[in-house]
Amino acid sequence: MPLHLKPKRLNGLPEAMRKELIESRRKRGWSQAELGERLGLPQMHISGIETGKIVPRFDTLLDLVRELDRDLLMVPRAVVPAVQALVRDALHPEGMSEADEGERPLYGSGVEQPEMHDDEK
């Protein structure tokens, strides 16, 4: 990479991650100030992270998610849908209907996809 080009940085945490952080904090009944106090950060910093105005350093993000009884995990992209399905099912078992109690796909919608012909592969 040429020296005059800077690597692209995140403008904020992904929205889904920010929503999950907010939901986890609220489930514990904590205000932004309470979470900040536990982490040694001002409420304004927690607010900035949750709104996407502040991109936390990795160690701050790790402390934040662990304080909320979460963790960061690197997984191969190919298995992300399967991991997301496992997390979804673990967090929302009540979302399963009686029809779901039998065998069901690990990930995906469960709707059959049209079969691809050899020339489409």
pLDDT in tens, 10-47: 678 899 999 999 999 999 999 999 999 999 999 999 99
- Say what the pTM is: 0.66
Confidence of residue 49 (pLDDT cuts 50, 70, 90): very high
Show the domains of the chain with their CATH numbers. Answer: 10-94 (1.10.260.40)
pLDDT at position 121 over 50? no
pLDDT of residue 105: 53
Here the tokens at position 60 are: 């701050």
Confidence of residue 110 (pLDDT cuts 50, 70, 90): very low
Taking alpha carbons only, the member of 106, 27, 14, 11 closest to residue 69 is 27
Which residues make Cβ contacts (< 8 Å) with residue 2, sequence separation at least 6?
none
- DSSP state letter for 116: P
Residue 121 identity: K
pLDDT of residue 101: 53
